[in-house]
Amino acid sequence: MTGSAWRRFLMNKGAVLGLVVLAIVMSMAATAPVFFPGNPWNMAGAPVTPPLEPGHLFGTDMLGRDVMATIAHGARVSLLVGAVSTAAALLIGVTLGAVAGYVGGRIDDVIMRFTEFFQSIPSFVLALLIVSIFQPSVGSIVVAVAIVSWPPVARIVRGEFLSLRSREFVQAAIVLGQNTRQIVFGQILPNALSPIIVLASFMIATAILLEAALSFLGLGDPNVMSWGFMIGSGRSTIRLAWWTSVFPGIALFLTVLSLNLIGEGLSDALNPRLRERGGRR
């Protein structure tokens, strides 16, 4: 990101707020083993302790697990799934989209039909299917989320490559004698990065939500603590111990919101003209 885009990003209050919230969530994830040592699944106090009791800021659940500790440990899983599955989806999506857009013709047709095949299945149902076929684990969740989230990347990258490929600076590179690799990585990809970066920030948010939804339905990794699992296990006792669902819910909400704010801020910062044209000033 160039200096001026970074400045425009910092001018956007929502985006900076998002960045701050995300930084808090990340540091919480990083420091979870320090502040909340031991297994978050273990009993830490009397069951159903309400919030603000000494030692249990957010209270404890039906089995006496500390809610604050589960949120901190859950942040690790959420961020991990969000980041890794997005990276994997980008790898698949960018590669396929770039090939389709650059090569064109029959190969483009084949790749796009393949992409549409994935898009024709509701993504959550597909994710459920994949996780239930494999054993529910962090690995299978990451695979499932990546598989359902790459098609939009492929479509966007293909569109960018299609339009950039015919630009004169790309033709100039061909005339200079550059080979396909140099043209794709040196000329086209850097110009297609802005929409990819923006899309990636939204994809992380979606991936975190997907993981939470899977865990909510009991398809989470049984060995790691996750926000979705907390919300799911607390829902039956919500009238007795509301805090067991509400606090993980707030953590999820804030994380996803912050990623969306960052995504929007990036989008405005990287495409300043779009924003002016939209007349949102």
Partner 1 sequence: MTEPLLRVSNLSVALPQGGDRTHAIEDMSFDLAAGEILCIVGESGSGKSVAAAAIMGLLPPPLPVRSGSILFEGSDLLALPPEDMRTRRGRRLAMIFQEPMTALNPIMRVGRQIEEVLEAHGQGDGASRRARIIQLIGAVGLPNPKEIADTYPFRLSGGQRQRVMIAMALVMEPAILVADEPTTALDVTTQAQILHLIRDLQRQRNTGVLFITHDFGVVAEIADRVAVMQHGRIVELGTRDQILDDPRHPYTQRLIAAVPRLAAHGRPHIDAPPLLEIVDVSKLYRSGGFMSPRREVAAVTRASLTLARGETLGLVGESGSGKSTLARCVVRLVEPSVGAIRFDGIDLLGLSPSAMKPHRRKIQMVFQDPFASLNPRKRVGEIVAEGPITHGMASAQALAKAAELLSLVGLDDSAVTRFPHEFSGGQRQRIGLARALALEPELLIADEPVSALDVSVQAQVLELLADIKARLGLTMLFITHDLRIAAQICDRIAVMRRGEIVELGATAALFAAPRHAYTRELIAAIPGRAWEASRPRGAA
Query: Where along the sequence are the contacts to partner 1 (CB under 8 A)?
Result: 167-169, 171-179, 182, 187, 190-191, 279
Residue that has been written with the tokens 């808090």 in this structure: 24
Contact 43, 63 (CB under 8 A): yes
Contact 15, 264 (CB under 8 A): yes
Nearest approach in angstroms of CB 185 to partner 1 is 12
Nearest approach in angstroms of CB 79 to partner 1 is 30
Nearest approach in angstroms of CB 187 to partner 1 is 6
Q: Which is nearer to partner 1, 53 or 276 (CB)?
A: 276
Q: Which is nearer to partner 1, 114 or 134 (CB)?
A: 114
Q: How far is CA 85 from CA 97, 117, 119, 212, in A?
A: 18, 20, 17, 14
- The β-bridge partners of 60 are 66
**Interatomic CA distance for residues 151 and 146, integer angstroms:** 10
279 Rama sector, left if φ>0, alpha if ψ -120 to 50, beta otherwise: left
Q: Which is nearer to partner 1, 63 or 110 (CB)?
A: 110
How many Cβ atoms are within 10 Å of 106's Cβ, its own excluded? 8
Nearest approach in angstroms of CB 186 to partner 1 is 8
Nearest approach in angstroms of CB 272 to partner 1 is 12
Nearest approach in angstroms of CB 111 to partner 1 is 16
Phi, psi (rounded to 5 degrees) for 36: -125, 70
Q: Which is nearer to partner 1, 43 or 172 (CB)?
A: 172
Q: Which is nearer to partner 1, 50 or 186 (CB)?
A: 186
Residue 199 burial (C-beta neighbours within 10 Å; 0-12, 13-18, 19+): buried
Residue type, 70: T
Nearest approach in angstroms of CB 178 to partner 1 is 5
Q: Which is nearer to partner 1, 75 or 156 (CB)?
A: 156
Q: Which is nearer to partner 1, 91 or 174 (CB)?
A: 174
Task: Calculate ∠ Cα 90-96-101, nearest 5°.
Answer: 115
**Interatomic CA distance for residues 223 and 180, integer angstroms:** 46
